[in-house]
Amino acid sequence: MPKALILTTLIMLSSTAQAVELPEVVTACIEKNSPARGSVQTIELRARDRSGYEQVLQANTYLKRTADAPARILMHFNEPVDIRGARFLIIENSPQNDMYMYMPGLFKVRKITSKRISSSILGTDFSYEDYERLHGVFSDLRAEQADDALLGGRPVHVINSYPEADSGYDRITTYMDTETCVSLRTELYENDQQLRKVLTISADDIRKTGNIFVPHMLLMKDLRDKTETRMIVEDVQIDVPLDDALFDPEQLKKIKVPAIQAD
C-alpha cells in the first residue's frame, strides 16, 4: 500500500516501515480505490455545538500525488466571509508531516506544531490530526487487522491502528466496506481508552466517480463535547492536473487558488 494520500478510503492509516503489514486483501482494496494523481473537491462543513447552533463553512480541497514527490493537500476556505481565504496545507513527510495554516486576518503563514495538532480546524469537530488521518497521510501508525465483521448488514474489514505519543489518540478502529473500500465507521479513542469521536459514512452516500468510490457525506461526532460536524462533498473531480506552486508553503499567502468547475 503506498504511503500516499488516499481520500476515498478514509481509513486513517498509512503504510510505513514501522507499520505491521496488513493482509493483501486490505491493501489491494485501498489501492484499487485510490486516485492515481489526486483529486479536487468542493465541500461544505456544518459544525453544530451542543446548543444546536450551526456554523457553515465552505471550502475547496486540492490533492496531488506523484511517484517522485510526497503527497500534498490544500484546503482553501471560501465562506464565511470572516475566514475567506484561509488555507490549510499538509505535505507528507517522515517521521512527521509538515502542516501550515494561513489566516488572512493575521497576514502570516504559521507552521502547526505537535502541540497544536489536536486543535480544532476553525471551530469544527475535525482537528488537524483528524484531517491528516482522514486522508491517510500519517506516518506513525502501527496497524493490524482484526476479524472481519458485519456493519449495518455489510461485510467490513476491521483494522486497529496505534498512533505514537504525540497523537491525541491511543487507538483508532476502522471498519472498511469490502465492496467499496470506503470506511463506514472510524472510532477514535483517547489515551485513557475512552471513545472520544466517531466518524460515520452511510453506504447510501457513497457514489462512484470514474473508477473509484467517493463518500459524499461524513459525520464526525465528539462524544465528550456533544458536538458534531457534517462534511458534505458537493463536487469531486479525479486526476485533475495541479500546479506544484499551489502546495508551496512559501507561496501559501499569495498563490491564486484555481476555481473548481462543476461537472
Residue pLDDT, tens place only, 130-148: 887 776 554 556 788 899 9
Q: What value does the mean pLDDT take over residues 239-255?
A: 90
The β-bridge relationship of strands 149-151 and 142-145 is unpaired
Stated as kind and residue range, the H or E segment containing 100 is: strand 98-103
pLDDT at 16 over 90: no
Given a contact cutoff of 8 angstroms between Cβ atoms, the answer to whether 9 and 213 are in contact is: no
Q: What value does the mean pLDDT take over residues 100-117?
A: 84
Q: What are phi and psi of 124, to 5 degrees?
A: -90, 175
What are the distances in angstroms from CA 154 to CA 43, 199, 218?
A: 27, 17, 18
Q: What value does the mean pLDDT take over residues 61-80?
A: 89
Question: Which DSSP category does 84 fall into?
Answer: T
pLDDT at 119 over 80: yes
Predicted TM-score of the model (pTM): 0.87
Stated as kind and residue range, the H or E segment containing 145 is: strand 142-145
128 or 53, which is more confident = 53
Range picked from 45-49, 104-108, 251-255 for highest mean pLDDT: 45-49
For a pLDDT cut of 70, what percent of the chain falls above it?
87
Given a contact cutoff of 8 angstroms between Cβ atoms, the answer to whether 213 and 219 are in contact is: no
Per-residue exposure over 12-26, b if at least 16 CB sit within 10 Å of its own CB, e if not: bbbbbeebeebeeeb
Mean pLDDT score of the chain, rounded to an integer?
A: 84
Q: What is the per-residue pLDDT for 6?
A: 39
Given a contact cutoff of 8 angstroms between Cβ atoms, the answer to whether 10 and 199 are in contact is: yes
CA–CA separation, 238 vs 254, rounded Å? Answer: 25
Q: Which fold has domain 24-239?
A: outer membrane lipoprotein receptor (LolB), chain A (2.50.20)
CA–CA separation, 186 vs 9, rounded Å? Answer: 11
CA–CA separation, 173 vs 139, rounded Å? Answer: 16
40 or 118, which is more confident = 40
Range picked from 103-112, 128-137, 174-183 for highest mean pLDDT: 174-183
163 or 82, which is more confident = 82
Q: How confident is the model at residue 263 (pLDDT cuts 50, 70, 90)?
A: low
Q: What Rg, from alpha-carbon coordinates, does the chain have?
A: 17
Range picked from 107-111, 166-170, 196-200 for highest mean pLDDT: 196-200
Q: What is the per-residue pLDDT for 261?
A: 63
